[in-house]
Structure 1
Amino acid sequence: MHPPGADTVLIRHGDVNTKSNAVKRYMGELLVENIEALLEDRSIPGDVEKGWNRPLIYTTEAAVEDATAAAADAFGVVSASPTLTVSTEKEQIIEALVETAHACYDGGTFAVDARRADKTLPYDSEDLARDAGSAIWDAVEDEFEPEVDLDDPDLTFGVEVREEGTFIYLEHVSGPGGLPLGAQEPVIALISGGIDSPVAAYEMMRRGCPVIPAYVNLGDYGGIDHEARAMETVRKLSRHAPNYDLQVYKIPGGETVDLLVEEMNQGRMLSLRRFFYRAAETLAERVNANGIVTGEAVGQKSSQTVRNLGVTSRATRLPIHRPLLTWDKQDIVAKAREIGTFTDSTINAGCNRVAPDRVETNARLEPLLSAEPDDLLERAADAAKNAALIEP
């Protein structure tokens, strides 16, 4: 819902504001580029202005809610609001609020949340909120009995007075927060087709890291359907980053999985993880990435006990980023639903069928190395060098 005549989107960022002026300027430019790409990708008209604390999108009233939704999909954005822009004159602000009340307020409780960034004006936030609230009350009392609730109102009239003008809005559309995509270095995201890995990739993107997706083909233990679901989750992620290339590197792993199933019993899931990590490391060298992202969480699977994570991590010299490390499964599922990857991930991961009857939860590195194929890590490196680049 927006005030009549609203044709501007007011954008709020969070962590960007904590940076030095030089870094804030750089990240602000990245944010503008990313929002422009989202608007273009969705064929939404709009011109983006960086501003210093509040980026703006100038669009049309017909497109203002679509533009708001696009801005709220940009990493680094805390929230966005479709707004009506008026002057900083107190009388004009109150007049616009009264018109908005006539159009949008039809009962229930209300409040006015007024903020004044321009301290040179002859009124303060409290004066404006009080006088605007009285004017709104007077405007609607003949139609219904209004009620003020400053703690939990049904409708909040937002007013933000800045040097460049006053912005009037009725809603905050929540964004992902974090940092603008591109503010950090790229990383390899191991995408399995399960629920966790796309969420982990999303969380790294939310902190500014472009992701390079990698999918390990498990041969008979994966299959076309499993691969297709992994690709679909990448497509969902790419909606947040239309100006970044999220083509997927498909790493051949079927022969190695067959070998592990044939030669190893206990510990083979850990050796498979080691294969994944070394393949990802080799791919990272190939594409100049700076880390590996997985959806692992402490204790979620037998291969993810603290000891086992320590053992498998030694297969690579790169940092392994685990943004879901302490998340509960229900929180991961909720986030997957929120970002749209859950439905495409609800298939049993092929590697589940690789697991032996007796799993290893307390591995030691030396016994594992003596049990696994001697050339496992060389196989992983060769597989990554032969990875094919495919469209998701």
Structure 2
Amino acid sequence: MFKNILIRFGELSLKGKNKMNFVNILAQNIRKICNVEYKDMIIQIDRIFIPFSAENINNLNYVFGISSFSPVIKIDSDLSTIETKLLSIDLDKYSSFKINCRRKWKEFPMNSMELNQHLGNLILTNKKNLKVKVKDADIEVNVEIHADFAYIFWEKIKGLGGLPVNSSGKVLHLLSGGIDSPVAALEMIKRGVKVNFLSFISPPHTDETTIKKIKMIVNELTKYQIESRLFLFNYTDLMNYIGLTSNQAYKIVLMRRSFYRIADNIAKKFQCLGISNGENLGQVASQTLEAMNTIHSQTTLPIYQPLLTNDKIETINKSEKFNLFQISTIKACETCEIFAPNHPATKPNNEVAIQLENELDMLKELEKKSLDENVELCYFNNKGNNKY
């Protein structure tokens, strides 16, 4: 019965003269995620049409930048054809209805209000069990009249909202196997950002389960952004060296300062416009304002923290909604967890951190060597054709 899927925009409707740039990026994302050809798409300034299929309906749930979408019946813009098709719809399971007509083709003999009244009376005459209900009707039947075709639809499926991926630049995201950082990455993707991932592993302390878990998370997130890069950084030598510090309370601070120096190098090499993370203010010792100030000073790039003020329950709910929670709660050994001291510094001082790094006089040299030798680059795409 359905011929097309009507796709509506959310925030894109607010864009000005560059709106079509966003629409074209959205169309490209839909094409890649839904496997449709451009020739089979109708791209307009306020909507996109693609061929109907159950697979396409499912795949649109992975496309950011869409406010809602509907399966539509496509017919000729002829009143008798519209009447016949309208009466063929199975309305017997409903007790109330509403008709909502839009005459976008101004040469059609009835205006929108007249068409509402005419088609409403038609249904009332032929469907005796139905009554009109302007608010909260069981079904709202929409009819749109265009010059070439008319569309009939009644189901409106909520989209993900946000902006189309690749419309807002690129960041490098610090990814762990926990709950927060995957959700934070998703929040960046929702705002149109293309996210590259950086994870620190420390074999043999972190095992294959840890690496597999990280890859599973990136694979799940790639469904929303089509392609991803994951930098797996072997941090074992650096972790062992930092462990020699004379102030054990600063171990995590020194390690995370090192993370940001490394991230800064990789981000700039791959033209990323910032570094993002899953930090949540006050959640752990390294996420106090003092700690973040001391740690983040190691990069000149902007740092984006979409979960900074989230309640933990908010983050868990989103993790569950997007099928990340089950992966994030797999038991594994995280680099930060196994390295954490019993009594970490919660209000570290930048000057003390610099002094301790000066004592570890081979630290910067080890970081440079590891950047050259200990980084594995993995590629992911939404078809599952991943390369490790």
- The interval holding the TM-score normalised by the smaller chain is 0.7 to 0.9
Deviates more, 1:303-312 or 1:91-100: 91-100
Q: Which whole-Å CA distance do the structure 2 matches of 1:173 and 1:46 have between them?
A: 24
Q: Corresponding residue for 2:308?
A: 325
Contact persistence 1:69–1:173 (CA under 8 A): no
Q: TM-score with structure 1 length normalisation?
A: 0.85
Change (3 A) 1:161 1:312: farther
Match of 1:200 among 184, 205, 217: 184
2:47 is matched with which residue?
A: 54
Is 2:289 aligned against 1:300? no
Q: 1:15 to 1:370 in 2, by over 3 A?
A: same
Rounded Cα–Cα distance in structure 2 between residues aligned with 1:380 and 1:160: 62
Of the three residues 333, 341, 352, the one matched with 2:337 is: 352
In the aligned structure 1, how far is the partner of 2:250 from the partner of 2:146?
62
1:94-243 correspondence to structure 2 within 5 Å: 94-100=83-89, 102=90, 105-118=92-105, 121-141=108-128, 145-242=129-226
Are 1:276 and 2:259 matched, yes or no?
A: yes
Contact 2:31 2:38 in 1 (8 A): no
Question: How far did 1:225 drift?
Answer: 0.7
Q: 1:134 to 1:366 in 2, by over 3 A?
A: farther
Task: Tell me if the contact between 2:241 and 2:363 (Cα under 8 Å) persists in the aligned partners.
Answer: no
Between 1:382-391 and 1:192-201, the stretch displaced more is 382-391
Unaligned 5+ segments in structure 2 are: 379-386
**Number of equivalences:** 374
Secondary structure of 2:237's aligned partner: helix
- Over aligned residues, Cα RMSD in angstroms? 2.7
Which 10-residue stretch deviates more, 193-202 or 370-379?
Answer: 370-379
Q: 1:285 to 1:93 in 2, by over 3 A?
A: same
Pair 1:105–1:358, CA change in 2 (3 A): farther
- More divergent stretch after superposition (83-92 vs 353-362): 83-92
The 1-side partners of 2:330 and 2:23 are apart by: 39
**Cα distance, 1:77 vs. partner?**
1.5
Are the counterparts in 2 of residues 112 and 133 from structure 1 also a CA contact under 8 Å?
Answer: yes
Q: Which amino acid aligns with 1:183?
A: S
Q: Equivalent residue of 1:55, what SS?
A: strand
Shift of 1:161: 3.7
CA distance in structure 1 between the partners assigned to 2:339 and 2:256 by the alignment: 12
Going from structure 1 to structure 2, the CA distance change for 1:254 and 1:83 (only over 3 Å counts) comes to same
Alpha-carbon contact 1:186-1:289 (below 8 Å) kept? yes
Match of 2:231 in 1: 249
* 1:363 alignment counterpart: 348
Tell me how far 1:116 sits from its aligned partner. 4.2
Alignment partner for residue 310 of structure 1, among 272, 282, 293? 293
Name the structure 1 match of 2:55: 66
1:377 Cα offset (Å): 5.0
Partner of 1:32: helix, strand, or coil? helix
Aligned to 1:388: 376
CA distance in 2 between counterparts of 1:187 and 1:231 reads 18
For residues 36 and 382 of structure 1, what CA distance do their matches in structure 2 show?
42
Which SS does the other structure have where 1:266 is aligned?
helix
